[in-house]
Amino acid sequence: MSWFGNRSADRLRRMLQAIRNRDFALRFPAERMKGSERKLAEEMNDVISGFREDLIRQERQYGQYEAILNLVDSALIVADTEGNVSWMNRKAISNLCGFSITHLSMLDAVHPDLAAGLKTLIPGHPKILTLNLDGQEERLKLSMATYDSEGSDVCIYSIENVNLLVQQSEIEAQRKLIRVLTHEIMNSLSPIISLSDMLTENNRQLDEDSTEALNAINRRSKGLLKFVENYRKLSRLSQPHPEWIRIGDLFDGLRTLFPQHFIAFRIEDPDIQLQLDRHQMEQVLINLIKNAIEAIDKDPSVTVVTKADHPNHRFMISVSDNGCGISPDAVDSIFLPFFTTKSGGSGIGLSLSRQIVNLHGGTISFDSTSSGTTFTITLPFIYRL
């Protein structure tokens, strides 16, 4: 009996050690045993097998959850209240540092305000943080939730780039405003034009001053009507019809339109193909290049550069000039409809360009100093299989 007890106690210790170490490969050879010893070994094997199946089920479930979280379009970071990071999804790794971090303070490498912004979050109270990252203004939506883990709070941080969403909201609001304004203005101008035409043609007894005044009203009303009609383009922009476009072909056409010696085209890989509405995207680039040409005086230089950001699936097109830059007073209004710094300008070129780029799922931004301005188009880079 002592022998049986010692053997059983030894097996029990081995089983507990295996459970403690989460080593569920242990199995006792019950088929070589008899009686109570065999029955005990079989029960111990069943316990270990149950733990093993639970572990496999948990790992499978964990893998499913991780796969789902890696598909989320926001950067997710799990950390304790001290800022120690225990997990990040792929979006967080690729869009932030490019590597896994172990503490929130390491986000200072991205921007000094990012980690500080996360640490001041309150659950259920997201906030928008505007940062300048790699020369581009990015608006990030920061939010945080907490849960209890073994008596300690664990924080789940979400970082979402909302540049595109903000631009879409702004553009839609502008289009609605333009539709209302143009409708009301045109409804008011049409009868004024008709009335002035009728009075000028039918009333021969008008003195010279009255006739001249009516002609001025008629002329300016027609000019204003044409002016307003021009802005209706902003609210009637059609959806793009994308197709696979070789970048080299797109810029070959632009070289023909802009043969000036001071315009340089630097196409990184002309064989790259993007899903674009060629006519719309050409119009955007024509607007940007024309603006660049008009911004320069002495020793003119305009550079058009393309660059593929393969890891982040982005394709960038930049148009740079060596002009005097955009006035600080105009920086916040540059994409607004009707706003222009050029005499005789319509003020719809950049606004229309931003709408087109936005409809392609991209963004357009600019960086301007006293020595020049660069406009950058960022488009989603979908590989053609």
Q: What pTM value is reported for the model?
A: 0.51
pLDDT category at 288 given cuts 50, 70, 90 is very high
117-155 pLDDT per residue, tens? 888 888 888 888 887 766 667 778 888 888 887 778 889
Least confident stretch, 17-21, 211-215, 320-324, 348-352: 211-215
User: Concatenated DSSP letters for 30-62?
Assistant: GGG--HHHHHHHHHHHHHHHHHHHHHHHHHHHH
- E-strand ranges in the chain read 75-80, 85-88, 127-133, 136-149, 152-161, 243-246, 263-267, 273-276, 302-309, 314-321, 363-369, 372-380
Residue 304 has pLDDT above 90, yes or no: yes
Contacts of 305 (CB under 8 A, 6+ apart): 266, 268, 316, 317, 318, 320
Q: Is the pLDDT of residue 1 over 50?
A: no
* Long-range contacts, 260-266 (Cβ 8 Å, 24+): 260/293, 260/300, 260/302, 262/300, 262/301, 262/302, 263/289, 263/293, 263/302, 263/303, 263/304, 264/301, 264/302, 264/303, 264/304, 265/304, 266/303, 266/304, 266/305, 266/306
**Mean pLDDT of all residues in 284-313:** 88
Share of the chain above pLDDT 90, in %: 14
Model confidence at 343: pLDDT above 60: no
Q: Looking at the DSSP assignment, which residues form a beta bridge with residue 305?
A: 266, 318
CA distance 200 to 151: 87
